[in-house]
Amino acid sequence: MSTAAVTDKRPSTLRAASLPRWTPWAIAAGSLVLGIGISLAAGLDSHIQWGLIAAVLFVLGTYGVAARVEGRRQAKDRVATSLVWVAFLLAVVPLISLIWVTAARGVKVLDLHFLTHSMGVVADTEAGGGIYHAIIGSLEQVGLATLIGAPIGVLTAIYLVEYGRGRLAKAVTFFVDVMTGIPSIVAGLFILSLMLIFEMQPFGFAGSLALAILMMPVVVRSTEEMLKLVPNELREASLALGVPKWRTILKVVLPTSIGGITTGVMLAVARIAGETAPVLLLVFGNPFINNNPFEGAQASLPLYIYQQFANSAGSGAAYDRAWAASLTLIAFVMILNLVARGIARWKAPRTGR
Amino acid sequence: MDISTTTDVPPPAAQRPVAEHKRAARGATRPGDRIFLGLSRGSGILLLVIMGAIAVFLTYRACLAISKDHGNFLTTFEWNTNLQPATFGIAVLAFGTIVSSVVAMAIAVPVAVAIALFITHYAPRRMSGPVAYVVDLLAAVPSIVYGLWGALVLVPHMNGLYGWLDDFFGWTGVFSWDQGAPRSMLTVGILLAIMILPIITNVSREVFRQVPRMHEEAALALGATRWEVVRMAVLPFGRSGVISASMLGLGRALGETMAVATVLSPSFDIQASLLNPGGGTFAQNIASKFSEADEFGRDALIASGLVLFVITLVVNGAARLIIARRAEYSGANA
């Protein structure tokens, strides 16, 4: 940020004594050495403890040195800066570990055979088998959920932006916000209560309905933002030419914002594709290939990961499959995300000027 | 007389455009307009109906179960829905849900705020874009993958930390450890913290970006250090935004299912120590009890889900109200 530039450009004659730029690195190295030394002397064996001791020494050292040379306020500033950096590094470690482990363990069994075979004749504890049935299930459930959730979400957003005045619009806005926070398992329980009332057995479409409920508020939110970006002049120009409002929306507003809407829908799809809980309750899981989402239990990728983890009694082959399925799922979600962002950048509405 | 005529003239002139405007707004006279308005308003109403239906149907099935509960639904420390008479209660689940979420919040909020500050105010400009992008992508990693990672990678790495906490803080009781597998509330809380970190970071970052430049530059001009700028200009402006971001994260943590179900080794009692395995959460209990539950057992699980629904509703509603209040203030600031 330019704050740094401002500080650097200050003429040095007006400045109080300041530490050279390499000071933080020197203190870091010193406290690391000291921390390891103390840990070895005290016989601590956990590397986390070494790191913690070194970190405490670093913060204390920075404060002490800076307070002596530059004064209290500068010392506090330095400590805050180092704390922010430490928080950042602290958060990055597990996240990198997650991606790294998934990729490293996932590639072990991930091949064409894995992608094109089901678990029909393979016990959960044996090696072999694959995720074909889970991919089919996921695609069908998420596809159907999108067919239901996306149009309703987009239409609701159109209502809120183009027509919405008064109490109904306010209520819809508030409940869309609240709905965003519904736990996925509650959406699953809702459909489950309906299934119990109508005495139905698990099937793929039931999962789609729960996923659609989870998807709608996300689509409404993002579409709303996009529609608000469309300049009012475009609407007014169209209306001034005598074009009816509904044609203005269909022919002017939506085409202008279609990139953003597509992005929003794809991000919502990416979100529901990873949902496990409702699928666990409503679709139940099935080692065999079932192409019909309207009858009989199906599998799905996230559910497959959970079941490989939970039903395998610690079998290595099942864990390998779980990691490989995780890698497939992450790849799917990430590609959706990247494509969505690409579309957003490519089709960004050119507002004004 | 003159004065009264001059004051009488303006109102009709001012009213006429309003009346025309109203007619135009109301004027869904063309069939296409009427259909389109009906469709879009219908979708909005459908969303409200779904929310209502969720509440109604969950309550209906929950009442079926609770009416046959032999124990007290709120205070019983048991979950036996297959026995006659059935005895079940949510005390353990409520406790576990709150404890794991509190641990997650205690870890995630400070770190998330620091990362948001890092992105907006501390990182070198070339770095802040990619970091923000990566955090965005991490919000999209499915929870089941976090769960798998937590159970197979995080849990084995917790032993050292647990032993250390037990050595130094075991006397508090909260951190005493019986050398069991570290599949306990602390590990769950840490995993939940990692999961909600991107959400809180993203919302806080947006709020910190909106801090008026003038406020920051004024502070700098008065000779403030960067930390003083953050403390005096950025944090006060962003406070309500950070609170609502945290509550959104809290909503996620409360309802998280798979990550808890894979990591926790559950039991139906309350552990005083965060480090000893046991306890459970609403969502985890539903996921792990579901497969062996008969119809009555499912109703009982729905009853516990209803409690979770109400809790998240309250948390999210509160978060939204805070954001709405902030919007009014920010108008004054602009």
CB pair distance less than 8 Å for A98 and B115: no
Query: Which of B21, B115, B121, B144 to mutate: most A Cβ within 10 Å?
Result: B144
Q: Give chain B positions within 8 Å (CB) of A264.
A: none
Q: Is B299 on the interface with A (CB under 8 A)?
A: yes
Is A159 in Cβ contact with B41 (below 8 Å)?
yes
| pLDDT of residue B2 exceeding 50 | no
Q: Mind telling me how many Å the CA of A93 is from chain B's nearest CA?
A: 10
State the 10-residue block means of pLDDT for chain A, 353 residues long: 49 65 84 84 72 82 84 86 85 86 91 90 84 94 96 95 88 90 93 93 94 95 90 92 92 89 90 92 90 92 92 81 94 89 74 48
CA distance B175 to chain A (A): 16
Cβ–Cβ gap B61/A84 under 8 Å: no
Q: Which residue of A has its CA nearest to B128?
A: A1
Query: In chain B, which residue's Cα lies nearest the Cα of A197?
Result: B61
Residue A202 within any structural domain of the chain: yes
Same domain flag for A202 and A284: yes
**CA-to-CA distance for A282 and A186, rounded, in angstroms?**
12
Across the range B101-123, mean pLDDT stands at 93
Count how many domains chain A has: 2
Express as a percent the part of chain B with pLDDT over 70: 88
* Helices vs strands, H then E, count in chain B: 14, 2
The residue in chain B having the minimum alpha-carbon distance to the alpha carbon of residue A88 is B115
The maximal CA–CA distance of chain B, rounded, in angstroms, is: 96
To test the contact with chain A by mutation, choose from B225, B264, B304 the residue with the greatest count of A C-beta atoms within 10 A, namely: B225
Whether residues A47 and B164 touch (CB distance < 8 A) is answered with no
Query: What is the spatial distance between Cα A53 and Cα B154, in angstroms, rounded to a whole number?
Result: 21
**Residue B168 forms contact with A (CB below 8 Å):** no
**Based on the domain organization, do A99 and A152 belong to the same domain?**
no
Residue A88's domain comprises: 17-106
Residues 263-282 of B with CB under 8 A from A: none
Confidence of residue B332 (pLDDT cuts 50, 70, 90): very low
Residue A164, domain member (yes or no): yes
pLDDT of residue A184: 93
> Tell me, what CATH number does A236's domain have?
1.10.3720.10
Beta carbons of B251 and B313 less than 8 angstroms apart: no
Tokens representing A316 are 């290595």
Mean pLDDT of B219-230: 91
pLDDT at position B318 is 86
Indicate if the pLDDT at residue B75 is higher than 70: yes
Query: Does A150 reside within a domain?
Result: yes
Domains of chain B by residue range: 2-67, 79-333
Per-residue pLDDT at B7 exceeds 50: no
pLDDT of residue B14: 44
**Tokens for A160?**
């809120």
Its CATH class, for the domain covering B79-333, is mainly alpha
> What is A280-324 written as a DSSP string?
HHHTB--SS----TTSS-B--HHHHHHHHHHSSTT-HHHHHHHHH
Chain A contact present for B37, CB below 8 A: yes
- pLDDT, residue B10, reads 43
Task: Judge whether B45 is closer than 8 Å to chain A, CB to CB.
Answer: yes
Cβ–Cβ contacts within 10 Å for residue B267, how many? 13
Yes or no: say if B275 and B188 are a contact pair by the CB < 8 Å rule: no
pLDDT value, residue A13 = 57
Domain match, A149 and A52 both: no
Cis peptide before A202 (omega within 30 of 0): no
In a domain, A197, yes or no: yes
Facing B148 at nearest CB: one of A77, A249, A326: A326
Q: What share of chain A is helix, strand, coil (3-state, %, to 5)?
A: 75, 0, 25
Distance CA A265, CA A219 (A): 6
Domain boundary residue among A89, A106, A123? A106
pLDDT band at residue B9 using 50, 70 and 90 as cut-offs: very low
Looking at beta carbons, which residues of chain B come within 8 Å of A4? Answer: 226
**pLDDT-above-90 percentage for chain B:** 42
Contact between B47 and A172 using a beta-carbon 8 Å cutoff: yes
Counting one residue from chain A and one from chain B, the pairs whose CB atoms sit within 8 A come to 282
Residue A159 lies in a domain: yes
Tell me, yes or no, whether A205 and A290 share the same domain. Answer: yes
The pLDDT value recorded for residue B15 is: 46
CB contact under 8 A, A73 and B225: yes
Q: Which residue has the tokens 């907006």?
A: B120
pLDDT digits (tens, 9 = 90+) for B12-35: 444 444 444 544 555 557 888 889
Is B149–A334 a contact, with Cβ atoms under 8 angstroms apart? no
Helix (H, G, I), strand (E, B), or coil: what is residue B259?
Answer: helix
Residues of B in Cβ contact (< 8 Å) with A246: 30, 32-33, 35-37
CA A231 vs CA A344, B175, B200: distances in Å: 17, 57, 31
Nearest to B47 among A6, A216, A246 (CB): A216
**pLDDT at residue B45 tops 90:** yes
